[in-house]
Structure 1
Amino acid sequence: MPQVDFYLLPSAHPHDALDFACKLADKAWRLGHRVYVLCASAEQCQALDARLWQFKAEAFVPHSLHSEDAQAAVALAVGTASGEHHDLLVNLTAGLADGHEGFARLAEIVPDEPALRQAARERFRFYRERGYALQNHRLPRI
């Protein structure tokens, strides 16, 4: 049963969600985990791909679009298939990720936008009803 962490962002700006996804992917990869980032759209996936290339000037987060290389340490995708990834699922969508139960950890990134917060509350209830270990992280304004 996965551990689920909800990261409540102090901003509704789409770039902040992508920046935080970069930080999570970088940290998890450096700890030896494989990361699957589920994007809400192909455009978001491309934007995250570009951000990961520029994320840190002194380091590189090895990643690929899932359609290019399902074996990458960090895979970015739109859809539901996770390939060989089972460590960490980073969910950037407003919905429940199909196949989430196959991961050890789930990271739900929640921007400060009413409709997205409401969708996150519904996912929280879903996970709680199934007995998943849940944790909220309210991130500070910078």
Structure 2
Amino acid sequence: MQTVTFYILNKNITHNKLTPTETFACKIAIIKWREGNRILIICNNNNQAININTALWEYEINSFIPHDLIKNKKIEKNIPILISSQYHKIKTQNVLLITLITQNIKFSHNFNNVIELVPNDELSKQWARQRYKEYKKIGATLITVKTYEKK
């Protein structure tokens, strides 16, 4: 059964020049990787994918986060965090999908575990509500988490 977690993001959480969504994508990817997950991060466009890739190189000064961009449909099987701006056919078993895409994407139904990041603006929330309904229609277990900036 598919589990989808929607994270409603706080506008104020940022890291360097990243948007709040990109910042949280890096943070949650690192957490989930340390829990033993393989991860695919799907971005809105190539620039966002490059931003995420760069940020993961710099996110923690004292540690290495193993990741890479998917290039020319060549997928490195041993890299635990893959980043792309488009879907690539991969074995989705045991892969956690983190999606930054605001509009509906059909391939997310292929993954057992999905993290949907929802920026804190009305248009993004409307798209997220639509995706929520789609997941509910197929019987996914749905979880909603509101993030807050730590003081």
Taking structure 2 as the reference length, what is the TM-score of the superposition?
0.86
Fraction of identical pairs, as percent: 25
Greater than 3 Å deviation, 4+ residue runs: none
Let me know the Cα RMSD of the aligned residues: 1.7
Give the Cα separation in 1 of the matches to 2:103 and 2:132. 11
What whole-Å deviation, never above 9, does each CA across 1:42-101 have from its counterpart, x for those lacking one?
000001111101111121210000125432210000112242343200000012333222
Asked if residue 84 in structure 1 is aligned to residue 91 in structure 2, the reply is yes
Equivalent of residue 119 in structure 2, options 108, 111, 114: 111
Equivalent pairs, count = 142
Asked if residue 15 in structure 1 is aligned to residue 15 in structure 2, the reply is no
Moved more, 69-78 or 80-89: 80-89
Q: Which runs of 5+ in 2 are unaligned?
A: none
Q: Which runs of 5+ in 1 are unaligned?
A: none
Equivalent of residue 76 in structure 2, options 58, 61, 70: 70
Cα offset, 1:140, TM superposition: 1.2
Give the Cα separation in 2 of the matches to 1:74 and 1:95. 22
Cα offset, 1:102, TM superposition: 2.3
Write out aligned runs for 1:53-68 (5 A): 53-67=57-71
Q: Cα distance 1:79–1:47, how it changes in 2: closer, same or farther (>3 A)?
A: same
Equivalent of residue 41 in structure 1, options 36, 40, 45: 45
What whole-Å deviation, never above 9, does each CA across 1:11-31 have from its counterpart, x for those lacking one?
187621111111111111111
Moved more, 76-85 or 101-110: 76-85
* Residue aligning to 1:26: 30
Taking structure 1 as the reference length, what is the TM-score of the superposition?
0.91
